[in-house]
A and B are shown apart, each in its own frame.
Chain A
Amino acid sequence: MGFAIDLTIVWAFIIAFAIAAYVVMDGFDLGIGILFPTIDVGPERDMAMNSIAPVWDGNETWLVLGGGGLLAAFPLAYSIILPALYAPLIAMLLGLVFRGVAFEFRWRDPAHRKYWDMSFFLGSLIAAFAQGVTLGALLQGIHIAGRSYAGGWWDWLTPFSLLTGISLVVGYALLGACWLIAKTEGALQNYARRVARPLTLGLLAAIAAVSAYTPFLEGKYYKIWFSWPGILATAQMPVWVALTGLLLWLTIPRKRDYLPIVLTLCLFGLSMIGLAISIWPDVIPGRVSIWEAAAPHSSQVFMLVGAGLMVPIILAYTGWAYWVFRGKVGAEGYH
């Protein structure tokens, strides 16, 4: 049995992939929502909105796959995490309602467009912040008794979870700005370049703060990061993050429009690697391992057939949809 593949590990990677895909893809369109009130009313706002209108729905579907996949592959984790993070998750869902409907509503009712623009902004901000809070609350540990959540409904609220919330808002805003650099031209692109630099500094500061805070949370993080072999990563991470940040800072004003978003994605990638090192092999950090929470073998196999078949197809037609809308968004939009 030495070569038998552990399907639980496979599923941990699939769920992690879905969440990473979500953060990357919905990250930039939530980021545009966060930047929205600072963008000039009129053609520039319309252009920012048009740059994501054809793809936002597909981006958000990864969130459903992350949630639904967690229920399917790790039902115990799903049934503990969701009640534990009740308030931030409900806030996120309501935020997504407000921003999701704004895509259509703002065009249907020009007289009240400014309200739907506000709804787009606040919904995006709340959703992003709540996702960051969720991450922080998971990292800092949640109370469990038996097979269920045993803490109170405000446990998630700590300085650390607020820090991760703000960090994710800054990160998404930077992704949004870099997306605008890549997809737009003229005044809007210039504006995106202007905000991208301070946001880069903000994200670097946020990564530093969260990284410095995490080892001192209760649990195993200190041991992981300050003992062999974790110390290898600890020693390298700041170097890679700083290098990527510096490159990003330098490329933002240049004519290479697609480089900033690639480099920002690298920063997100490094952060996610750091998170993975902290969390592995748990599904609820420090509490429940992936094997304890795993669905039975037959459920894993059945889903793996579906995921193995469908995920490549999904990636193919998603890629095609992005390809159809490639290049700069025209001034008139494609509405």
Chain B
Amino acid sequence: MPGSETALLLARAQFAFTISFHFLFPAFSIGLASYLMVLEGLWLKTGKGVYANLYRYWLKIFAVAFGMGVVSGIVMSYQFGTNWSVYSDKAGPIIGPLMAYEVLTAFFLEAGFLGVMLFGINKVGRKLHFTATCAVALGTFISAFWILAVNSWMQTPTGYAINAAGQFVPANGWFDIIFNPSFPYRLVHTVIAAYLTTSLAVGGVGAWHLLKDKNNPGARVMFSMAMWMAALVAPVQIFAGDAHGLNTLKYQPQKVMAMEGHYQSHPGGAPLILFGLPDSPHQRVDDAIEIPKLSSLILKHSLNAPLAGLDTIPEDQRPPVFVIFWSFRIMVGLGFAILGLGLVSLLARLRKRLYAWSWLHRAAIAMGPAGFVAVIAGWVTTEVGRQPYTIYGLLRTDHSVSPLAAPAVGISLIAFVIVYFSVFATGTMYILRMMGKPPEAHEPTLDREGPLRSAGITPAAQGVQ
């Protein structure tokens, strides 16, 4: 039925659109909440006003980003039912409780303490306020834990049985479901990605202000902290990504075949295709630049290890190659660029030029959005790579969709596109505008106008310039 084909395509487009947009905000707020926790902790420990000022500087930005994350997240919790009702019915007994745990242990925690974090700075003591900041940061992490457990179960389902109604139900306890094979790898890789994304954004902002005034104390501190993160965490991330990839090879081999562009099997060792244009109708990669045997070395740790290609997979079970091939390269390329930035910053530190080397600052500004791009590229790789399934190997995407009329899905998709681009683009503009202002010695808390009551909470700030 062509009508339902269109509805399926539109439903997929809608989910891809709403989740990609949504994912940008948590990717930023997971890292930023932890950064705020570190800043406030340092302020409490050292009493240095520069930390309090940076806290308040980033708190305002956090408030806007978090608000957009909340409203785009509420949309996600209903997308499963509106557009993917068959999937919800079948997978509900497994994914439903995990998402309910996310609400109970994370969303309420974040929301409950966010009010105190944003507006309670003069209402509760410093320690209690710091507790609120920690609670929000912890909430963002717990939220990632549960939602990635859900996502990982869809990628590598374990611990289920199928009941008479065709629903997936727990077979032997929840541990097998939550700690499914890909979950630990995905959790580590994604949370580090969120930290790196935030540190690059913070580093870009610090660099921007260092270019204008290399003596701005706030800009110096944030740039230095961000570059430490890039230098120390990017190598960890590359290692974690590699481990995640090997895990994928084990449990979702056709995803890796598509990532590598391996249409054909290579019994005597597979080449690593650096770049090329995958051509699925002809089952080949055009204009490929490849290094012989390297793919086998990376994936199997042996030059001549055989690697199966998509020719071993029935045609109706293959993921789309072109998108995954390129999204994977974008992610990996940016990962190494981030590592490069971190290493150069170490060099600059050694030569005592960290705050004065304008080319490093320009590079950091250029890399400011790199984390967001890499996160989305990685997300596309793993999600498109799961196709044509919603629950890998068990429930096909075309059997998951709601019985909806195409116009209903089409109109709502258009509405989402218009609303998201106008509202979230405006919010992003506000964030960029706030980032464009240098961190001042007396950052107002969240004071939008009028005299600063916040000056009173940081007497130290007046001494430290």
Contacts and interface: CB of A to CB of B under 8 A. Distances in A.
A64 B107 contact: yes
A228 interface: no
B102 A72 contact: no
Given A68-B77, A97-B75, A86 B116 contact: no
Contacts of B103: 61, 64-65, 68-69
B408 A153 contact: yes
Contacts of B68: 101
A-side interface size class: 35 or more
Main secondary structure of the interface of B (DSSP, over half): helix
B446 A335 contact: yes
Interface in B377-424: 402-405, 407-408, 412, 415-416, 419-420, 423
B119 A335 contact: yes
Interface string A142-181: 0000011110110000000000000000000000000000
B71 to A, nearest CB: 4
Main secondary structure of the interface of A (DSSP, over half): helix
Interface string B105-143: 101111111111011101110000000000000000000
A12 interface: no
A55 B115 contact: yes
A332 to B, nearest CB: 6
B67 A103 contact: yes
B92 A148 contact: no
Given A97-B71, A148-B85, A108 B430 contact: yes
B72 interface: yes
Contacts of A72: 92-93, 96-97, 99-100
Interface in A277-333: 295-296, 298-299, 302-303, 306-307, 310-311, 314, 317-318, 321, 324-325, 332
Interface stretch (A74-82, A186-194, A232-240): A74-82
Contacts of B80: 71, 82
Given A57-B115, A310-B104, A311-B104, A295 B96 contact: yes
A314 B104 contact: yes
A334 interface: yes
Nearest to B75: A93
A321 B92 contact: no
A111 B163 CA distance: 58
A100 B70 contact: yes
Query: Which 9 pairs between the two chains have the least Cβ-Cβ distance?
Result: A75-B92, A82-B81, A72-B96, A54-B115, A79-B89, A79-B85, A100-B71, A58-B111, A310-B104
23 contacts: A53-B118, A57-B114, A60-B70, A61-B103, A65-B100, A68-B103, A71-B95, A73-B100, A82-B88, A86-B402, A86-B412, A89-B82, A100-B67, A110-B449, A148-B402, A296-B170, A299-B94, A307-B104, A314-B112, A317-B113, A321-B116, A325-B120, A334-B123
